Amino acid sequence: MTPDTTSAIDKQSHRPVAQVAFVIGIVASIFNSACASHRGADEQAWVDFATISQSVSRSGAAPGESPVGWRLWWTADEIYDGAGPTKPSLEKHGGLATSFRPLKCEYETEVANPGVMTADGQPQCEAIFINEAASNFIFERELWNRNKLIEAAKEGKVHFPADKKVSRQIKTEWRRVQSQRAAKYIVAAASDGQLYGLVAIHLMSHELPDWLWATWLHEDFAFMMPPAIGFHDAFGAKADGASSPALTSLLASHGASRLLHYKLIGTQHDFVDPSALGNPLIEGRDTDTLANSSCMACHRFAAISSNGSMTKPRVSTGFAKLPDGFFPVDFSFSLARRAVCQDAVGCNAAYELH
């Protein structure tokens, strides 16, 4: 059973029909005939996670840090620096940093969600990383400039690359890690020298027109996943929850065996099956919230109006029509939320409630 990619493109991404042939080829490579099993999507998610987490040799890594490749991706804070009417200075470096930088925490979204506070009542550290293909797309079209983003969105031209170089974005969550547990984590150092362990990660990867979505939780926090929802990994987990031989082999071949300490909660590639996907260290631990959270349904509302205002993220499942007068920006909330008005005339970056 092959997913109906044509209807998905027409209805959900508004992607030009000329791209359908390519999309069908990609879909076929990911999903086997037993598409209801989700094994193909889960396997592809693990392949993506392992590939981007391979170690790289670059300067700047602090003692104890994990030199994973995606730490060289630019962060949302770096791309959308808002520094005047010129392109961000980091553009001259291309889509990747040349060395590791200290982990810089973003607390805005975490403070707004008390469900993901640490045990001492502090917001956990969050950072969004955007890969080379996606960041170059933003730089080349100057979409960090909200005025230009408005025009591109109105013309239906905001489509991140999905061909030879697949666009990827990850939302990462970090907490201070105890030294005796550090070997079981992906570790990053903050500017004050403190080590943080990766505790949760959302991945959106553009193998598909509406992206492939996946989310992981570190094993130390698996107890936070409500049993009524649980973990759903048809590729990487055996019936008893232990890592499968296939996953163990895959990670070993990528030099990424540390990822065995992360548990895949699940994947999404359409709005219906599964209709919900969430992470207790990102959406919060409440069972009802997680049962009604969907990566795709939420990011569907990554859209802006003709004056630059944006729709607010919402807890929902299933496909929903955008409010009248809003234009999608390819599921990217970092783009919708962080692009900066360079000309205040006719440009607004506030939320509009609908």
Mean pLDDT, residues 96-124 = 71
Report the interhelical angle of 39-52 vs 20-30 (nearest 10°): 90
Backbone φ and ψ for 351, nearest 5 degrees, come out as -75, 145
Is the pLDDT reported for residue 33 higher than 80?
no
Per-residue model confidence as pLDDT tens digits over 212-260: 999 999 999 999 999 999 999 999 999 999 999 999 999 999 999 999 9
Is the pLDDT reported for residue 83 higher than 60?
no
pLDDT of residue 193: 86
Is the pLDDT reported for residue 19 higher than 80?
no
Name the domain count of the chain.
Answer: 1
Q: By C-alpha distance, which of 167, 162, 161, 253 is closest to 203?
A: 167
Q: What whole-number distance in Å separates Cα of residue 151 and Cα of residue 146?
A: 9
Q: Record the pTM.
A: 0.86
Q: What whole-number distance in Å separates Cα of residue 185 and Cα of residue 23?
A: 35
Q: Of residues 261 and 165, which shows the higher confidence score?
A: 261
> Of 65-74, 136-145, 196-205, 255-264, which gets the smallest average pLDDT?
136-145
pLDDT of residue 118: 63
pLDDT of residue 68: 97
110 band by pLDDT with thresholds 50, 70 and 90: very low
| Percentage with pLDDT > 90 across the chain | 56
**What is the full DSSP assignment across 278-323?**
--TTTT-S-HHHHHT--HHHHHTT-EEETTS-EEPP----S--PPP
Per-residue model confidence as pLDDT tens digits over 143-156: 999 999 999 999 99
91 band by pLDDT with thresholds 50, 70 and 90: low
User: Domain residues for 177?
Assistant: 5-352
pLDDT of residue 208: 92
Contact 224, 258 (CB under 8 A): no
